[in-house]
């Protein structure tokens, strides 16, 4: 019934809308046909031609009125008016392109900023794992008795939990990534390629089935995969694309892992990136029971209890994570008692698995709050601008509105017209944001990958989608339109309060303005808000920028330019463990030192500037202090150009005899023995409080983080047979130019060494240290200049407009005998009062916010500010001065123009 | 002045539908026909005829078509649609009930 109704009516409505001219013509024809026939009828009754026509017209009672009545029946009037409104709005915006452009840009800029932050947050924290029913999954977390939480569990705990729990349908375990040397199948030549590093991940055999992942080709693991059977692995989609050009022939081929043939039995789907954080898919997933193939060099007996698995459980239907917790805690504690292990576990919790970052990671939270804060401030400034722009425009259009009202437009109709304009602007800004933000997101992510991630490794492929999703885009659009509507309504309400007759008569309203000069108006509040927000953003941007300048110039106190760092990963899998590692060290040191370009070779556990071990130190009678440490070989200090202030370096003999000696830094010495000679003193190191003798004092250097000297830092002798990790080579010339030579030398010992090595100049480490401040500053400068741009437009526009509006008044004052100087003084004084007030509040707020910068947790402040005080007077003064200058020039130019105008002209102004 | 005083409110639609149920007609012919069949008792003013016709058309009850009239001029002819036929039945039924009720009241003998 309803449908049939539409069948008839919809074409009619469409026709009325889109064939309007024809419909109108037909209406006209129809009515005139009637009138003609009627005229003929009257004629036949004997009336004169003119009389007949008049009578016919009279009977109709006014053709135009009838036409209107007929049009009313078409039910499209509202739509027609809407279209007219849009056309009119479009026309009137075209007539003031600067207003339209400023509004659209302002709004779009504000909205795009927030879109970016929300997109990033969304992509980092809110995405759920791409598995079947991710809500049913929990990641197990251990709350340690000593405090702190971790997600690592041992193999025994995994087995125990999966056998005895009552709450999970299944529990899966995954180890950390392992970098392995593999010979991938070369499909074209039907043999294996050269050995190269790939990423593998050990997972329990039920991994794919519990997560509900089906292979897109081949199969996933079955519970029967056993250590004795044929070794198998599942290939990740990104690896399939990258390393095999998506050739399906790879199924059933084997990868050579340290001599073992591992068959590729399946390819994982494209969106499955694993369950690890961050979402980097490995090349291969390998069943846990086959770990001996992936890490043949690993001493599994010694590390059997090492907690190295992340556990993810799928809850049975209807079981809440909270309910699962108690039982799991008991199970783990049971195992600890049974195996007589150290009781570590206070509780086991299950949290929903995150995709990239745990949303309640405090560091991430602080950072995202900061970002959101910045961009909401930008959005607020943009909104203040919009409010100003709309108010100014509606004031300027008072006359036009008054004319339309006088011609019979109802107030509602006028408001609707203004609203349409707002909607149109909002739509335009929204579309702009919609077009720009996905592109911008792509661009930013490409830059990050290009400049940061790929600089260090191409092994890790982040499957990170930094693209605004539909919800975010819809939100973006909605916010733009709502902002457009909101501000146009506000302006409409403000202007509809005006008496239109006054507006037409041009008019008394401005005459009584003297008092309004002094009153705090909405516009004053807006100016204040703009100055305030932009001050906060600008001052902090300024601080960060000054911090960066200092940070880029800050020297670590150790040589980076001439040092190459070679990192060997998983080298024990090639058989270089224990004695072999010691032999390899000797060989490397010998062969590398023989190179003419090399002046020194050293080994250490940690790369300065990139990492350090943690330890404790105490003297017999003193308290225990937390300290950083590094196990180094003899010659390490001289390779890095760290001078010994006192005492001597380690010798090969110290290392060989496992002497209990150590070298401390100046700062450590100062803290422990302020006025004594530290040489020969005994310190107690580590949990066991092993006594060690101080044999040397090294100059302080920023070994952990740039711009910071650790109070306690220990250099300990490296055991000669410890696994080989990092080799440092001091070169004569530029470090990077010697890299091929160094790699060639390593290859001459074992050709597989080069494939396991990643080589960098230590300058890269320095660059990495400087990166956070660079990024933060870049970001702060972006936000700051955005704020500055918006604030300049807003403040200048508002003040200039307000002053221009006073042109008449200025003219009258001058006509009445005021000197131009006194009038200028009046106007500028007023502006200065306002801006001074706003600047005062703004500076206080900025100081408050920048104080927060220094209290940032995790040492962020020293990384970002490099010792710049948060109350750096230069940054504050410069920015306050800039804003005041802008406000003054915004007021001065139009005011001066006003004083120059002939008073008579001023009176006629507008 | 557009509403004739002698037409009960709402009955114009019924009359127009009924007339068009017999054959397609143009506006002028409709007003003639109405006068004719009601023996000049009912007449609709020219002013209210067209808005009423347009309303019926927009409701989907009548359809229109431009055709040559008997005097060989192009005129807009209205005809009933299926929807219109159903509407006519409904309105006729209501009218019958209403008029029967009214006549019952009118014929009521004084008690």
Q: Tell me how close the Cα of B84 comes to any Cα of chain A, in angstroms.
A: 10
Residues of A in contact with B62 (CB under 8 A): none
Q: Is residue B4 part of a domain?
A: no
CB pairs under 8 A between A and B: 71
Q: A4–B76: do the CB atoms touch at under 8 Å?
A: no
Q: Is residue B49 part of a domain?
A: yes
| Residue A170, helix vs strand vs coil | strand
Q: Tell me how close the Cα of A103 comes to any Cα of chain B, in angstroms.
A: 42
Is residue A593 within 8 Å of A736, Cβ to Cβ? no
Smallest Cβ–Cβ distance between A8 and the set B27, B50, B81 belongs to: B81
Domain CATH number, residue B76: 1.10.10.10
Rounded to the nearest integer, the mean pLDDT of chain B is 84
Number of independent structural domains in chain B: 1
The answer to whether residue A452 neighbours chain B at the CB level (below 8 Å) is: no
pLDDT score of B93: 92
- Whole-angstrom distance, CA of residue A766 vs CA of residue A561: 9
- Whole-angstrom distance, CA of residue B106 vs CA of residue B111: 13
Q: Tell me how close the Cα of B51 comes to any Cα of chain A, in angstroms.
A: 5
The two most distant CA atoms of chain A are separated, in Å, by 141
Is residue A383 within 8 Å of A110, Cβ to Cβ? yes
Q: A61–B26: do the CB atoms touch at under 8 Å?
A: no
| Residue to test with chain B: of A36, A37, A40, A41, most B Cβ within 10 A | A37
What is the DSSP code (8-state) at residue A125?
I
Tell me the domain boundaries of chain A.
2-75, 79-127+365-509, 134-351, 511-556+764-910, 563-733
Rounded to the nearest integer, the mean pLDDT of chain A is 80
Q: A34–B50: do the CB atoms touch at under 8 Å?
A: yes
Residues of B in contact with A56 (CB under 8 A): 46
Question: What are the tens digits of pLDDT across the range A762-776?
Answer: 888 888 777 777 777
pLDDT score of B2: 43
- Whole-angstrom distance, CA of residue A854 vs CA of residue A864: 9
Q: What is the DSSP string of A846-905?
A: HHHHHHHHHT-TTTHHHHHHTT--TT-HHHHHHHHHHHHHHHHHHHHHHHHHHHHS-HHH
Domain range holding B74?
11-107
How many other CB atoms are there within 10 angstroms of residue A342's CB atom?
8
Smallest Cβ–Cβ distance between A34 and the set B27, B55, B82 belongs to: B27
Question: What are the tens digits of pLDDT across the range A519-539?
Answer: 446 667 777 777 777 788 777
Is residue A333 within 8 Å of A343, Cβ to Cβ? yes
Question: What are the tens digits of pLDDT across the range A20-75?
Answer: 888 888 888 888 888 888 888 889 988 888 889 898 888 888 888 888 888 888 77
Residues of A in contact with B27 (CB under 8 A): 30, 33-34
A508 pLDDT higher than 80: no
Smallest Cβ–Cβ distance between B51 and the set A12, A38, A73 belongs to: A73
Q: A33–B26: do the CB atoms touch at under 8 Å?
A: yes
| Residue to test with chain B: of A11, A16, A70, most B Cβ within 10 A | A70
When pLDDT is cut at 50, 70 and 90, the band that residue A302 belongs to is: low
Structure tokens at A597: 């370009």
The answer to whether residue A14 neighbours chain B at the CB level (below 8 Å) is: no
Structure tokens at B23: 């054959």
Structure tokens at A42: 């009257």
Nearest residue of B to residue A69, measured between CA atoms: B51
Interface of A with B in 48-107 (CB under 8 A): 56, 59-62, 65-66, 69-70, 72-75
Question: What are the tens digits of pLDDT across the range A562-621?
Answer: 888 888 877 777 777 767 777 888 888 888 888 888 888 888 888 888 878 888 888 877
Q: What is the ipTM of this complex?
A: 0.86
Smallest Cβ–Cβ distance between A59 and the set B45, B66, B83 belongs to: B45
pLDDT score of A266: 92
For A659, B105, B107, B108, the CA distances from B111, given in Å and listed in that order, are 134, 13, 12, 9
For A17, A64, A231, A753, the CA distances from A262, given in Å and listed in that order, are 70, 89, 5, 22
- Whole-angstrom distance, CA of residue A671 vs CA of residue A574: 44
Q: Tell me how close the Cα of A11 comes to any Cα of chain B, in angstroms.
A: 10
Strands A232-235 and A260-267: parallel
Range A101-121 average pLDDT: 85
E strand map for B48-94 = 62-68, 74-80
Smallest Cβ–Cβ distance between B58 and the set A30, A62, A75 belongs to: A75
Cis ω before A278 (30° cut-off from 0)? yes
Q: Which residues, in sequence order, are CB contacts of A878 under 8 Å at separation 6+?
A: A542
How many other CB atoms are there within 10 angstroms of residue A817's CB atom?
7
Q: Is residue B3 part of a domain?
A: no
Chain B contact residues (CB < 8 Å to A):
1-2, 26-28, 45-47, 50-51, 54-55, 57-60, 63, 66, 73-76, 81-83
């Amino acid at each position: 019934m309803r449908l049939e109704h539409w069948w008839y009516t919809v074409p009619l409505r469409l026709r009325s809308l889109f064939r309007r001219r024809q419909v109108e013509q037909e209406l006209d024809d129809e009515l005139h046909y009637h009138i003609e026939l009627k005229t003929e009828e009257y004629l036949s009754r004997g009336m004169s031609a003119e009389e007949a026509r008049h009578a016919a017209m009279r009977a109709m009672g006014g053709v135009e009125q009838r036409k209107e009545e007929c049009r009313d029946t078409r039910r499209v009037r509202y739509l027609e008016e809407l279209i007219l409104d849009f056309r009119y709005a479009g026309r009137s915006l075209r007539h003031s392109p600067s207003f339209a452009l400023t509004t659209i840009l302002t709004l779009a800029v504000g909205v795009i900023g927030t879109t970016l932050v929300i997109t990033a947050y969304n992509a980092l924290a809110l995405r759920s794992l791409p598995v079947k029913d991710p809500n049913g999954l929990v990641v197990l977390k251990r709350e340690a008795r000593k405090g702190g939480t971790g997600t690592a569990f041992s193999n025994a705990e995994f087995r125990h939990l999966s056998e005895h729990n009552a709450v999970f349908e299944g529990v899966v375990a995954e180890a950390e990534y392992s970098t392995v040397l593999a010979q991938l199948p070369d499909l074209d030549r039907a043999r294996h390629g050269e050995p190269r590093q790939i990423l593998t991940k050990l997972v329990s055999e039920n991994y794919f089935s519990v997560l509900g992942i089906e292979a897109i080709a081949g199969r996933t693991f079955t519970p029967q995969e056993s250590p004795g059977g044929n070794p198998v692995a599942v290939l990740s989609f990104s690896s399939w694309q990258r390393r095999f050009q998506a050739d399906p022939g790879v199924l059933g081929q084997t990868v050579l892992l340290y001599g073992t043939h591992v068959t590729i039995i399946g390819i994982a789907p494209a969106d499955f990136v694993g369950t690890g954080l961050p979402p980097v898919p490995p090349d291969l997933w390998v069943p846990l029971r086959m770990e001996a193939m992936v890490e043949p060099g690993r001493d599994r007996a010694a590390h059997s209890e090492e907690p190295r698995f992340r556990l993810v459980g799928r809850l049975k239907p209807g079981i809440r994570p909270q309910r699962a917790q108690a039982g799991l805690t008991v199970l783990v504690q049971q195992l600890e008692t049974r195996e007589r292990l150290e009781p570590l576990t206070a509780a086991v919790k299950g949290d929903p698995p995150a995709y990239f970052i745990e949303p309640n990671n405090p560091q991430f939270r602080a950072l995202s709050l900061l970002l959101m804060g910045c961009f909401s401030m930008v959005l607020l400034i943009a909104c203040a601008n919009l409010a100003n722009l709309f108010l100014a425009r509606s004031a300027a259009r008072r006359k036009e509105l008054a004319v339309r009202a006088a011609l019979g437009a109802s107030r509602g109709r006028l408001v609707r017209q203004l609203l349409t304009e707002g909607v149109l602007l909002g739509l335009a800004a929204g579309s702009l944001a919609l077009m720009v933000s996905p592109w911008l997101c792509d661009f930013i992510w490409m830059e990050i990958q290009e400049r940061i991630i790929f600089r260090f490794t191409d092994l890790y492929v982040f499957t990170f989608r930094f693209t605004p999703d539909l919800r975010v885009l819809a939100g973006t659009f909605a916010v733009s339109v709502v902002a457009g509507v909101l501000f146009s309504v506000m302006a409409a309400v403000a202007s509809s309060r005006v008496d239109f007759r006054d507006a037409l008569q041009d008019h008394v309203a401005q005459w009584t303005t003297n008092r309004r000069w002094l009153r705090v108006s909405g516009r004053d509040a807006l100016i204040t808000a703009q100055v305030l927000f932009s001050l906060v953003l600008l001052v902090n941007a300024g601080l960060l920028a000054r911090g960066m300048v200092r940070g880029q110039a800050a020297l670590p106190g150790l040589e980076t330019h001439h040092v190459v760092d070679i990192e060997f990963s998983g080298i024990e899998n090639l058989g270089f463990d224990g004695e072999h590692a010691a032999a390899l060290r000797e060989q490397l040191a010998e062969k590398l030192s023989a190179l003419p370009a090399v002046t020194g070779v050293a080994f250490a556990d940690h790369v300065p500037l990139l990492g350090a071990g943690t330890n404790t130190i105490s003297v017999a009678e003193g308290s225990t202090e937390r300290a950083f440490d590094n196990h180094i070989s003899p010659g390490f200090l001289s390779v890095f150009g760290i001078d010994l202030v006192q005492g001597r370096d380690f010798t090969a003999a110290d290392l060989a005899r496992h002497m209990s000696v150590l070298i401390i830094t100046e700062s450590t010495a100062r803290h422990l023995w302020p006025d004594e000679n530290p040489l020969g003193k005994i310190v107690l190191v580590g949990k066991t409080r092993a006594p060690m003798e101080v044999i040397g004092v090294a100059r302080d250097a920023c070994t952990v983080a740039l711009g910071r000297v650790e109070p306690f830092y220990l250099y300990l002798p490296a055991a000669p047979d410890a696994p080989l990790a990092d080799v440092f080579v001091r070169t004569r010339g530029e470090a990077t130019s010697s890299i091929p030579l160094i790699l060639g030398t390593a290859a001459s010992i074992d050709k597989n060494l080069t494939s396991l090595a990643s080589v960098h100049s230590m300058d890269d480490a320095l660059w990495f240290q400087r990166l956070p401040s660079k990024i933060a500053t870049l970001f702060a400068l972006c936000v700051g200049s955005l704020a500055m741009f918006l604030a300049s437009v807003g403040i200048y526009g508002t003040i200039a407009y307000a002053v221009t509006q006073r042109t008449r008044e200025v003219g009258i004052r001058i006509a009445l005998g005021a000197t131009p100087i006194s009038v200028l003084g009046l106007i500028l004084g007023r502006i200065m009062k306002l801006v001074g007030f706003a600047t005062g509040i703004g500076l206080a707020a900025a100081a408050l916010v920048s104080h927060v910068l220094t209290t940032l947790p995790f040492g962020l402040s020293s990384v970002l500010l490099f010792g710049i005080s948060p109350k750096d007077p230069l940054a504050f003064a410069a920015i306050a001065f800039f804003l005041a200058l802008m406000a003054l020039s915004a007021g001065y130019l139009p005011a001066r123009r006003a004083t120059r105008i002939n008073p008579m002209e001023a009176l006629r102004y507008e | 002045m557009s509403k004739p005083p002698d037409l009960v409110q709402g009955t114009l639609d019924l009359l127009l539908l009924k007339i068009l149920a017999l054959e397609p007609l143009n506006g002028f012919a409709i007003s003639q026909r109405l006068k004719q069949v009601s023996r000049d008792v009912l007449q609709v003013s020219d002013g209210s005829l067209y808005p009423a016709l347009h309303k019926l058309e927009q409701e989907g009850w009548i359809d229109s078509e431009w055709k040559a009239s008997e005097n060989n001029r192009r005129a807009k002819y209205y005809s009933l649609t299926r929807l219109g036929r159903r509407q006519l039945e409904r309105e006729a039924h209501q009218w019958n009930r209403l008029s029967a009720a009214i006549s019952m009241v009118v014929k009521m003998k004084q008690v």
